[in-house]
Amino acid sequence: MNSDELKHNEIPETQPNGEHAIAPQSSASPGANRLLAYPPQSSAPTPTPLPPAESKDAPATKSPSKRGRIATAIIALIIVGGLVIGFLPRWRQSRLTVADTTQLAIPSVAVVSPVTGTNAGGLVLPAEIKPWLEASIYARANGYLKNWVADIGAQVEAGQLLALIETPDLDQQLAQARAELVLAQANLRLAQVTDDRWKELLKTASVSEQAAAEKAAARETAAASVEASRANMRRLEELVSFQHVVAPFAGTITIRAVDVGDLIVAGSGGRELFHIAQSDKLRVYVRVPEPYALGVTPGQTATLTTHATPGRVFTGKVITTSQAISTISRTLLTELEVDNSQHEILPYSYGELTLKENNSDPALTLPSNTLLFRAQGLQVGVVGPDGTVELRPVQVGRDFGQTVEIQGGVTSADRVIMNPTDSLVTGIKVRVAESTDSVASK
């Protein structure tokens, strides 16, 4: 086979569908195969071999590759689905954790609104009950107690003898004073006689005027000495009269602090002998807080109760007030009169006085556990509509134990935090956990 035939054999044939096909090579001549394997050296360019043409069986050749791609896609979908299924719960749990953490960062508080106290109809104050008249009886003379007549609980009249004191020293002083008075009177008589005589001699110029004047002055001195001695005697007589200890007014003996033979020392520096009290009428003292001071006027009525007479109510009337606020207790001292003609109320006992308030606007009350004790004073935490806390200073009135009276700083529409923490400050956000519409009032 010549070279032209070889070239002819290498030219691809064009198929009806436009594809090129390699013509089948004949195997009749081995030399031809060798010629194809080792082409001859020529100056003509060597033709580039074309890719083999696809045959009609191409779809069957591509089928295993499509199945692989489908399997790969399915595996990829399974992996992505597993990742999604495993990630969603974790993502949801993470979101819940963030939400819970955000909620826990906002503290929950319980709030309560101020309410009007049920005791607004009257001002209840502790009362100090004292007798209408009372006196501590001391000795005015030194000596020894000879005898006592009135014991505790005795009803005595004014001037009635209570005890008798022996005063031996005072008796001797009185005797001396009387003798000195007699001596002074004798000196006065002598001075009078001498003065009268020298006045007569002066008329005849037998004595000088100077000598006569001296005798007249001696008479006046003697007269003054008599008066001094008489006054001293009367003083001692008055002291001796205090040997008899008597009641200054009608009343009841509440204290007897001496017995027979006791040494008696005169004056308030000594021992109290007796204490007497008149309790037909009683003086009741109360201290009205400053916010209510202007509402108390003389003639105002009140009711008094005591623990010794449960169920009994006594009527009192305001007599007077101190007209000044105490700088220590910031209260107004008020005195009332209560009739005790039946002696049902014991003096010095404890009582409670209900004084009707003239204030038409009753005060609000809050639980005691809403108060914050700060350096700025008493404060409460008020929750606003947006959940923001505001610390407000308040003025506290009466303390009823579980509740306190609020004079200012809050209104009945405010929401006040119960059991506030020490870290509570203005501006923080809180969540209202529960609300109490009313509080216990006294």
The CATH number assigned to the domain with range 168-242 reads 1.10.287.470
In this model, does residue 421 exceed pLDDT 60?
yes
Tell me, what's the pLDDT at 185? 93
Tell me, what's the pLDDT at 338? 95
Containing 240, the helix (H) or strand (E) segment is helix 209-241
Q: Which of 34-38, 202-206, 274-278, 397-401 has the lowest mean pLDDT?
A: 34-38
Residue-averaged pLDDT of the chain: 81
Could you tell me the residue ranges of all domains in the chain?
A: 1-53, 109-118+362-436, 168-242
What does the longest C-alpha to C-alpha distance in the chain come to? Answer: 222
302 Cβ contact partners less than 8 Å away, ≥ 6 residues apart: 315, 316, 317, 318, 336, 353, 354, 355, 356
HSE, CB side, 13 Å, CA atoms: give it for residue 364.
Answer: 19
pLDDT digits (tens, 9 = 90+) for 15-74: 444 444 444 444 444 444 443 444 444 444 445 454 444 444 444 444 568 888 888 888
Rounded CA-CA distance 313/172 in Å is 58
**Mean pLDDT, residues 263-284:** 92
Rounded CA-CA distance 345/306 in Å is 8
Tell me, what's the pLDDT at 289? 87
More confident residue, 120 or 81: 81
408 C-beta neighbours (distance < 10 Å), count: 14
pLDDT digits (tens, 9 = 90+) for 90-135: 777 777 766 666 555 678 888 998 887 655 457 889 999 999 999 9
CA distances for 339 relative to 11, 278, 348, angstroms: 150, 12, 15
Bridge partners, 263 (sequence order): 144
Burial of 288 (0-12, 13-18, 19+ CB in 10 A): buried
Residue 362: pLDDT band (50, 70, 90) is low
Tell me, what's the pLDDT at 311? 84
Residue 358: pLDDT band (50, 70, 90) is low
Are 298 and 336 a contacting pair, CB within 8 Å?
Answer: no
More confident residue, 97 or 146: 146
Q: Which of 77-86, 97-106, 214-223, 309-318 has the lowest mean pLDDT?
A: 97-106
More confident residue, 441 or 341: 341
**Mean pLDDT, residues 145-159:** 94
Rounded CA-CA distance 20/18 in Å is 7
**Mean pLDDT, residues 75-84:** 78
Distance of CA 103 to the CA centre of its chain: 33
Tell me, what's the pLDDT at 364? 86
Q: Which of 143-152, 399-408, 414-423 has the lowest mean pLDDT?
A: 399-408
In this model, does residue 310 exceed pLDDT 90?
no
In this model, does residue 442 exceed pLDDT 50?
no
**Mean pLDDT, residues 306-315:** 89
Tell me, what's the pLDDT at 150? 93
In this structure, what token pair is assigned to residue 334? 């008020």
**Mean pLDDT, residues 382-410:** 85
Tell me, what's the pLDDT at 164? 95
Q: Which fold has domain 109-118+362-436?
A: 2.40.420
In this model, does residue 440 exceed pLDDT 50?
no
Rounded CA-CA distance 352/367 in Å is 23
**Mean pLDDT, residues 252-257:** 94
Helix (DSSP H) and strand (DSSP E) numbers for the chain: 5, 24
Tell me, what's the pLDDT at 131? 95
In this model, does residue 323 exceed pLDDT 80?
yes
Residue 361: pLDDT band (50, 70, 90) is low
Tell me, what's the pLDDT at 143? 93
pLDDT digits (tens, 9 = 90+) for 177-236: 999 999 999 999 999 999 898 888 888 888 888 988 998 999 999 999 999 999 999 999
> Residues, the chain, total?
442
Q: Which of 24-38, 152-166, 223-237, 363-377 has the lowest mean pLDDT?
A: 24-38
In 3-state terms the chain splits into helix, strand, coil percentages (rounded to 5) of: 30, 30, 35
Rounded CA-CA distance 144/98 in Å is 94
Tell me, what's the pLDDT at 66? 80
